[in-house]
Amino acid sequence: MTAIAPAADQGSDDAGQPALRVADLDVTYRVRGQSRLALKNVSFEIGRNESYGLVGESGSGKTTVALALTRYLPRNGRVSGGSIGIDGADPMRMGAHELRELRAHKVSMVYQEPGKALNPSMRVGRQVAEVYEVAGLSKSDAAERAAQMLGKVQIPDPKRVMERYPHELSGGMAQRVVIAMAIAAEPALLILDEPTTALDATVEAEVLDLIASLRAQLNTSVLFISHNLAVIAQMCDRVGVLYAGELVEEGPAAQLFAEPRHPYTVGLLRCIPRRGQRKDHGRLDSIPGFLPEPGHTLPGCIFAPRCPIAEDQCRHAPPPPFTTGERRTSRCYRYQHTADLPRNTPVDVELRAGPEPGTDPVITIRDLSKTFTPTGGPVQALRGVNLAVQRGETLGLVGESGSGKTTLARVLLGLTSPDPGATVEVAGQAIAKDAAHRTRQQLQAMQIVFQNPDSSLNRRHTVRQLISRPLTKLAGLSGPRLRERLMDLVRSVRLEERHLALRPRQLSGGLKQRVAIARAFGGGPAIVVCDEPTSALDVSVQAAILNLLADLQAKEQVTYLFISHDLGLVRYLSDRIVVLYLGRVMEVGPAERVFSGPHHPYTEALLSAVPSLDGTRRSRIRLSGEIPSAADPPSGCVFHTRCPRRLASGICESTEPPLAEAEPGHLISCHIPIDQLASLQGAEAVS
């Protein structure tokens, strides 16, 4: 047991006053007459020009911290203890005028949804210029500075963008505008609350780059709030880990992620697939149990109920912050034992070998195109897709939003009808394009797990109704056989019988997704489409769901069509990968080949956009600009407008490259020959 030294006491920075000092902060929400402690005893500080990351799962209190700092807490919330110092001033003691000054000059916030931060009825330029006008500049000077600032956040042609309304901007562009406004006042502290969560990976990478470069230019301290550990690892100097309103561990980012000293941090990190991990070996671990209910107080350590190494002491007295290294603290009595934390799931499990080689494909898609015709003119969502998927195989579908992943899934399922000429065969039999015309067997063959269980589960139905319905409709079961199968399913997705009577809103996100999975498996499908099945879930829950999907596949020999923007997940789970861009297949191949390369320049860009936990960055190729509109796709190779490896010959602009076999089973649609790609991407190819 080393000396107890609260973080707040030790942090006197060289530059004197820290940019932010939070000491023993308590925030209480009053919900239906009851007080609930949302933050408890939170202390941290951010030095000048320092970037501090707050990570935590939903409900951990991340956003409450940000709101408390700027006194934007909702009406039912209040700071019930502790103090805040922003540049030495305490917003809690400020009058309305001072508070306005503080918000105008010292603190700026950037939120997850840029759309909500911009006034939809005002031109972008005005909104940015206003920041300067408030600061006292003349109208024309303000407009001039606004244009400069938009240039600074790497908006091409700022004058034109200034004339637009927020809805005319893409998400990435809008977030840049918001960032421009936030840094315009040159605040002492910039708070970024999940600033890239709503963005595509490639855009996220750009925005993160932008933030990093701005930070280097401006003398601004940053509080970066995210659930994404990799983003935090990449962006921040120091990190605090929030769990259930308490800061459980704090330390320099690289050290903390390399050697976590709190069982919760350890658990979180084990939930995330790392390179080289696959569903059949190096399985993801998960954290058992759930977050304590908001406002629920435990006598001891808040994490103790979920902690595999908790001792009696942990359950009786809350641990103080132990200093665990230089500038590192952990609120854990047993921080020295965290490295040996036992796993919740075994590292390796016996999974039957994935696809059965040589058998007939379970789905064959030929010449699949889909053109939407909204009022603006036809939009090609998919163009000439040919695919064959084997039984028991997991096919990963990756691509940015708008690439056609979800459309492809919906066409397969019969929820969207393809353009004429397409064929969809299941086990060699062509099936109806529209789900309404499919036979029971055809419907039974293909099911889906949607991204958001709140949307995909009828909130008025009980779990029993939700899971039973496909059993009756598709499997044709009733009576005791129905009940038997229902219980089977419930057990196989690791729900309990008592959950059957509940409605979705009484379940946590992970449990809801289990219900959705149970429903998809109810009819005994041959193919299950998983459309971003874990993107609405917290990391610790995601791991459990992924493991469940892997187990179910092994047991039922189903084929997965796994759609995700998270390449790490796709790599962990998939046998083969399809990379889509603007509705076209750019690359198909075995997962490891696609990831390791040589690969299509677009795949290369996608991969290099992924922030990695260890903080090391792969050499980056960045995509310039946004994904072009599918209503007006570029000529030749559709990727040529953003391709960093575009050929000087001009062939990329004029001719669409065929999807050619570069290696056995690995097809790439690129004019650059594979060996040339290999040498261009040389470094990666080995990793």
Partner 1 sequence: MTDILEAPVTDVARAELPSWRLVMRRPGFIVGALILLFWIVCALFGSSFAPHSAYAQQLLATNQPPSAAHWFGTDQLGRDVFSRVLVGARSILLVAPLATLLGTVLGTALGLALGYIGGALDAIVGRLVEAVLAVPAVIVAFLFIVAVGASATTEILVIGFIFTPIIARTVRSAVQVESQLDYLAAARLIGESRRHVMFAEILPNVMPTVLVEFTVRLGYAIFTVATLAFLGFGVNPSTPSWGSDINANYGVIAAGYWWETLFPALAIASLVIAINLVADSIDRVLAG
Residues in contact with partner 1 by CB under 8 A are 32, 286, 288-290, 292-293, 296, 344-346, 410, 413-415, 435-436, 438, 440, 443, 446-448, 450-452, 455-461, 469-470, 473-474, 494-496, 499, 502, 505-508, 510-511, 514, 519, 523, 544, 547
Match 């050697």 to its residue by tokens. 259
From CA 76, how far away is CA 32, in angstroms rounded?
Answer: 10
Q: Which is nearer to partner 1, 290 or 372 (CB)?
A: 290
Residues 6+ apart with CB under 8 A from 312: none
DSSP one-letter string for 545-581: HHHHHHHHHHHH--EEEEE-S-HHHHHHH-SEEEEEE
Report the nearest approach of partner 1 to the CB of residue 306 (Å): 8
Q: Which is nearer to partner 1, 452 or 676 (CB)?
A: 452
**Which tokens sit at 125?**
């330029």
From CA 94, how far away is CA 90, in angstroms rounded?
Answer: 7
Report the nearest approach of partner 1 to the CB of residue 515 (Å): 11
Q: Which is nearer to partner 1, 119 or 458 (CB)?
A: 458
Report the nearest approach of partner 1 to the CB of residue 51 (Å): 35
Report the nearest approach of partner 1 to the CB of residue 458 (Å): 4
Q: Which is nearer to partner 1, 17 or 277 (CB)?
A: 277
Q: Which is nearer to partner 1, 160 or 505 (CB)?
A: 505
Q: Which is nearer to partner 1, 115 or 628 (CB)?
A: 115
Q: Which is nearer to partner 1, 158 or 418 (CB)?
A: 418
Q: Which is nearer to partner 1, 328 or 519 (CB)?
A: 519
Report the nearest approach of partner 1 to the CB of residue 348 (Å): 12
Residue ranges with strand state E in 111-160: none
Task: Name the DSSP class of 475.
Answer: S
Report the nearest approach of partner 1 to the CB of residue 443 (Å): 5
Secondary-structure breakdown of the chain: helix, strand, coil percentages, each rounded to the nearest 5 = 35, 20, 40
Q: Which is nearer to partner 1, 123 or 494 (CB)?
A: 494
Q: Which is nearer to partner 1, 273 or 510 (CB)?
A: 510
From CA 125, how far away is CA 123, in angstroms rounded?
Answer: 6
Residue 189 to residues 105, 117, 184, 420, 634, Cα–Cα distance (Å) = 9, 18, 12, 56, 42
Report the nearest approach of partner 1 to the CB of residue 411 (Å): 13
From CA 388, how far away is CA 364, in angstroms rounded?
Answer: 4
Report the nearest approach of partner 1 to the CB of residue 601 (Å): 34
**Burial of 523 per CB tally in 10 Å (0-12, 13-18, 19+):** buried
Report the nearest approach of partner 1 to the CB of residue 538 (Å): 14
Q: Are 395 and 603 in contact (CB under 8 A)?
A: no
Q: Which is nearer to partner 1, 180 or 536 (CB)?
A: 536
**Burial of 649 per CB tally in 10 Å (0-12, 13-18, 19+):** exposed
**Which tokens sit at 625?**
């600009």
Q: Which is nearer to partner 1, 180 or 543 (CB)?
A: 543
Report the nearest approach of partner 1 to the CB of residue 507 (Å): 7
Q: Which is nearer to partner 1, 448 or 621 (CB)?
A: 448
**Which tokens sit at 63?**
């956003």
Q: Which is nearer to partner 1, 180 or 511 (CB)?
A: 511
From CA 525, how far away is CA 517, in angstroms rounded?
Answer: 11
Q: Which is nearer to partner 1, 183 or 302 (CB)?
A: 302
Buried b (16+ CB within 10 A) or exposed e, 310-337: beeebeeebbebbbbeeebbbbbbbbee
Report the nearest approach of partner 1 to the CB of residue 220 (Å): 37
Report the nearest approach of partner 1 to the CB of residue 351 (Å): 14
Reduced to 3 states (helix: H, G, I; strand: E, B; else coil), residue 160 is helix
Report the nearest approach of partner 1 to the CB of residue 349 (Å): 9
Task: Name the DSSP class of 673.
Answer: -
Residues 6+ apart with CB under 8 A from 464: 486, 500, 501
Measured from the Cβ of residue 10, the count of other Cβ atoms closer than 10 Å reads 11
**Which tokens sit at 395?**
């096919």
From CA 189, how far away is CA 46, in angstroms rounded?
Answer: 9
How are beta strands 77-86 and 20-31 bridged, if at all? antiparallel
From CA 272, how far away is CA 347, in angstroms rounded?
Answer: 13
Report the nearest approach of partner 1 to the CB of residue 539 (Å): 15
From CA 330, how far away is CA 328, in angstroms rounded?
Answer: 7
Most distant pair of Cα atoms in the chain: their distance: 79
Question: Which neighbouring-strand residues pair with 666?
Answer: 663
Question: Which neighbouring-strand residues pair with 109?
Answer: 191
Report the nearest approach of partner 1 to the CB of residue 475 (Å): 10
Within 73-138, residue ranges assigned H as helices are 96-101, 114-117, 124-134
